[in-house]
Chains A and B, each alone.
Chain A
Amino acid sequence: MLPWYQWIILGFAPPLIFLLYFLKLRRVPVEVPSTYLWIKTVEDMHVNSIWQRLRKNLLLLLQMLTVLMLILSCLSPGCEGQKLAGDRFIFLVDKSASMSATDTEKGVSRLEEAKNQIETVINRMKASDAAMVISFSDTEGVDQSYTTNKGLLKRKVKAIKQTQRGSDMNRALIAASGLANPGRTSDKSSGSDVQVADALAATMYIFSDGAVKEIPQFFPGALTPEYRPVGALEPPDNVGITAFSINDQLDAGGQVQIFSRLQNSGMEEKTVGISLYIDNELRDARRVTVPGRAIPKETLDLGQDNRLANIEQSTPGAVPLNFDLTAIAAGLEKATPIRLKIDDDDVYMLDNEAYCVLNPARLANVLIVTDFNRPLELATSTDRMKKLAEIEFQDRDFLKEKTYQDNATLGVYDLIIFDQCFPESMPASNTVFIGAIPPTDDWKVTQELETTPIIYTNTSHPVMFDVQMGNVSILAGNVIEGPKGSISLIDSIQGSVMMIGPRAGFEDLVIGFPMIQYEENGDTSFNTDWHKKPGFPFFVQNVVVTLGSGSRFNALRTNSPGQPVQIKPIFPFPEIEVKNPGGQTETLKPRPDTSFLFSQTDESGIYEVREKGASELDQLFAVNLLDRLESDLGVRDELNLGYEAVEGKTTSEPARKNYWTWLVLLALVILSIEWFIYNRRVFI
């Protein structure tokens, strides 16, 4: 709508045309014998001359009609319009994978439907209303900051692209509430607490299917959230793969198995065909029946617009599905892509395929430099350890040999454990120092300590999984301090006795106490009873798995779309190429630790890694969504934002039918008629 002054200007147009029409009319003077008969012909011409002219002037009438149509179109007439409350709006658009489901009335994707609904709301905005657009999947992006430009808003909404990611609305909400709920700042010296900016109230429209993670901590403040659920009223039939992984060969007695899980978000059970492709060859096909939702439809309440309420309380039906790949894995020579596919199409196709990569077993290369450490020898000689790593024991003299120096420089070893010794320079691999510190300025011994109890063990670090240190005694040791970013794993009263710290892409684990005390007479005694505890073999295994890249040995864990993937090729290539499932290639340069970071993982599928220019494949990795929340297509009736439940409001927005385009069209038609009449003189 136009501001008032523009309306006034517009209002002057018809009388102006009216006047101009008569002013501009240059009549050709023609002398006639007498105007007597002419005047008689238009007898009342002088009495009502203006109206007489108007009556005669079809062209003027047509012109006035054209202008009238244009003015009417400026009024943007429509029907069923509603006045929007407020003057600031935020459009939060869910672009997560589930929004690609095509279960809407028009058969378009939920995202398209959401875009249409937003456009309707934008059309209803007043000229002075401002709005911003934020789209989110598992990340958020402000597509358009506050603007009153409706055209720009529409363009930006239209430009939102579907992603294959999960959804996390938290950060989007933070971005949305940025202006509405400005933070406060406190000044320590004055003790005052001031609000940094005025809160600008806004209405926040959330266009989503509600398949978002819980948002426990959100305070709407000046925001008025309005949830517009997008999608079918009832959960559509959709069978999807929500889990797909290969087991740890070590744990399953040499068996290689694929575990997958099928989920049905529909109300009724459904039978689908499943195909398993190994290296793009069909190896297995089954018919699987997946049960429907746990709670029957009849027991669910109907919410607004006959949408099933509390759909989230009814969990989708699911069925596990396993495949044995032991025989295939045994003869495996190269990394092999595995693809599981649901053959029946449904409204949500992104979860109908899942991928993983089966790598041939490769042992970690571990060097242990020690003069004598029986507990370590015992801990590394288990069957499980033999399947994990190839372990080489050398004494400290080996550090001076050229073989070591070459291998250390080339990064041949995945992990080197220095037991009470240290190299001249740090090798290109992860290290563990036992009773010694790395020969760099970053690591320091701050204090020697006597017998001390352990007060804290950081079991959240992968190295310390299942490692109990509570009853471990340490006779003597050092309190150590690592470089910036180091994490203490074991704390004594005096300070940390075990730390892990970063070094240019590698990690160094330093244990401040030795396992074995060497006496001057050559005798040895134990400095700790840790080796007698069950936690020690776990610790060694964790070290080999975590620091020796043990996780690469079997099937790689799959990555989620959008997450960056660290690629460590077999050799430190100067450049690598990564080919995505769509066939596009990206060249990467190495990071200081010779690994590569690939972030363009937006697409699900198998990615190929090779040296730049080489044809030989280095490795494969898989990207899968595998998100139960996304595959559950039941549209939530309400959203829980913090402590507030926001009820979904009418999905089918009372569409404002705009007629102004028709009026403009009509004006053009009238103009054409006028042109025709004027040029052909059919009437005048």
Chain B
Amino acid sequence: MSDTVSQIARNSDKDPLLSPALLAQLERMELVSRKIFRGRMKGERRSKRKGQSVEFSDFRNYVAGDDLRFIDWNMYARLDKLFLKLFMEEEDLHFYTLIDVSPSMQFGNPTKFRYAKQLAGALGYIGLCRTDRVKIEALDGARHNNAPTLRGRSSLWQMVSYLENLESKNTVSMTEAVKAFCLRNTGKGILVLITDLMDKSGYEDALKYLVARDLDIYLIHVLSQEEIDPDITGDLKLVDCEDRDIAEVSVSQRLIDRYKQTLATFIEDARDFCARRGIVYTMTSTERSVDRLVSRYLRQRGLVR
């Protein structure tokens, strides 16, 4: 089984991570944050903060110490009062993508891992096109991460190269990995977490860490078809690919039905958990194409427009 999975993975690996058609489609999109975050550098994004862009926002009375360059002299001439002209601040956006790199992501056709990379690449490209600060990280729990912070369209190939070289790692608790990420990155922005949520210790703590960071969080729950509709029969010894845990089951239709019920409950719980914490939850199957996911589902959920 695992041989077959890796075979499929290899086959799908031959395809380019991001096709030119997809790239062309992505160039027209932009990432939307439901919150305004202070960027470190000016970007192409209008900020709530009044800043130094060309787009006028408002007036206010002059108080001592204000920058004289922003006084509206025309108004002073007309009203004999000093007003300060306020402009919209254009900022860049922190766009983080976290990819679950646990071995369980190596299942499916294409593998969930590959799918996650494609998705991360697609979203990252949108960010790059809008000169957002794009950072894609693997949830490997490492204290020091060599993930590059990318900016500008020219960084596409750097991003793709990084993604291609990303490998599935040993099992790390999702909570630990997220905690490590939070310690490393203090900036605010949009965070897309691509995972299958198959962590026996639970995903709730991990998400709570992220929520605490006041990030605009999108959770993309990737499941392979074999997880959604298992095609197995007989008396089986199911071996967990991560912790080698064994579940002995005699697969019957009843059991399959019950499994689907459990999965549905699991998804519903995750959706509910996310909704209550302001996380946008999207469940997708690896069979759903990335461009469709981005252009339709994520657009519907307001991540892109």
A residues near B, CB below 8 A? 25-42, 45, 53, 56-57, 681, 683-684
Q: Tell me the bound Cα distance from A259 to B258 in angstroms.
A: 96
Rounded to whole Å, the gap between the CB of A287 and the closest CB of chain B is: 82
A27 CB contact (under 8 Å) in B226, B248, B254: B248
Instruction: Report if B245 contacts A (CB, 8 A).
Output: yes
With beta carbons under 8 angstroms apart, the residue of A29, A39, A684 that contacts B237 is A29
Judge if B273 is at the interface, Cβ distance under 8 Å.
no
Is the CB–CB distance between A41 and B245 below 8 Å? no
Having A32-B226, A33-B226, A42-B255, one finds 7 other A-B pairs with CB under 8 Å, namely: A28-B237, A29-B237, A30-B232, A31-B238, A36-B240, A684-B233, A684-B251
Q: How far is the CA of A653 from the CA of B12 in the complex (A)?
A: 84
Interfacial residues of chain B within 278-293, with CB under 8 A of chain A in the complex: none
User: Could you tell me the distance in whole angstroms from the C-beta of B57 to the nearest C-beta in chain A?
Assistant: 50
Given A30-B1, A33-B241, A35-B247: A41 and B236 within 8 A (CB)? Answer: no
Residues of A within 8 A of B255 (CB): 41-42, 56
Segment 215-231 of B: residues with Cβ below 8 Å from A: 224, 226-227
Q: B259–A31 contact, CB under 8 A?
A: no
Contacts of B258 in A (CB 8 A): 41-42
Inter-chain contact A30/B238, CB cutoff 8 Å: yes
B2 at the interface (CB under 8 A from A): yes
> Is B259 a contact partner of A33 (Cβ separation < 8 A)?
no
Q: Is the CB of A32 within 8 A of B241?
A: yes
* Binary flags per residue of B239-278, CB closer than 8 Å to A gives 1, else 0: 1111001111111111100110011001000000000000
Given A30-B1, A40-B266, A42-B255, is A35 in contact with B250 using a C-beta cutoff of 8 Å?
Answer: no
Partner of A29, one of B105, B107, B227, B239: B239
| Chain B residues, CB < 8 A from A45 | 247-248
Which of A28, A34, A42 contacts B240 (CB under 8 A)?
Answer: A34
Could you say which residues of chain B place their CB within 8 Å of the CB of A684? 233-234, 250-252
* Chain A residue nearest to B227 in the complex (CB): A33
A38 and B249 contacting across the interface, CB-CB below 8 Å: yes
The answer to whether the Cβ of B97 comes within 8 Å of any Cβ in the partner chain is: no
Which residues of the partner chain A approach B241 to less than 8 Å between Cβ atoms?
Answer: 31-34
Contact B250 A28 (CB under 8 A): no
Contact with B239, one of A30, A39, A41 (Cβ below 8 angstroms): A30
Q: Give the nearest-CB partner of B230 in chain A.
A: A32
B:112-139 near A, CB below 8 Å = 112
A56-B250, A684-B252 are contacts. A37–B263 as well, Cβ < 8 Å?
yes
Residues of A within 8 A of B226 (CB): 32-33
From A22, which residue of chain B is reached at the shortest CB distance?
A: B248
Query: What are 22 A-B pairs at a CB distance below 8 A?
Result: A29-B237, A30-B1, A31-B1, A31-B241, A32-B239, A32-B240, A33-B105, A33-B107, A34-B104, A35-B240, A35-B246, A36-B200, A36-B240, A37-B227, A39-B245, A39-B247, A42-B247, A42-B255, A53-B248, A57-B250, A684-B233, A684-B252
B2 touches A33 (CB 8 A): no
B242/A34 in contact, CB under 8 A: yes
Contact: B245 with A35, CB < 8 Å? yes
A27 & B240 in contact (Cβ 8 Å cutoff): no
Identity of the chain A residue whose Cβ is nearest the Cβ of B108 in the assembled complex: A33
In the bound complex, how far is the Cα of B112 from the Cα of A34, in angstroms? 13
The minimal Cβ–Cβ distance linking A677 to chain B, given in whole angstroms, is: 10
Which A residues are in CB contact (< 8 Å) with B233?
681, 684
Residues in chain B near residue A683, CB distance under 8 A = 252-254
Contact of A36 among B106, B198, B249, B254 (CB under 8 A): B198
CB–CB A33/B224 < 8 A: yes
**Contact in complex: B238, A37 (CB < 8 Å):** no
Find residues 78-113 in chain B having any chain A CB closer than 8 Å to their own CB. Answer: 104-107, 112
For A38, list chain B residues within 8 Å (CB): 238, 247, 249, 259
- B196 interfacial contact with A, CB 8 Å: yes
CB of B103 to closest CB in A, whole Å? 8
Complex Cα spacing A31 to B243, Å: 11
CB–CB B236/A29 < 8 A? yes
Q: Does B67 contact A (CB under 8 A)?
A: no
Nearest 7 A/B pairs, CB to CB: A34-B198, A33-B104, A27-B237, A35-B247, A35-B240, A33-B107, A29-B237
Nearest Cβ distance between residue A41 and chain B, in whole angstroms?
5
- Contact (Cβ within 8 A) A30 B200: no
Closest B residue by C-beta to A26: B235
Q: In the complex, A38→B246 CA distance in Å? A: 10
Q: Do B266 and A31 have beta carbons less than 8 Å apart?
A: no
Kindly list chain B residues whose C-beta atoms are within 8 Å of the C-beta of A37.
198, 227, 259, 262-263, 266
Q: How many angstroms between the C-alpha atoms of A34 and B107 in the bound complex?
A: 10
Instruction: Choose among B107, B252, B262 the residue that contacts A40 (Cβ–Cβ < 8 A).
Output: B262
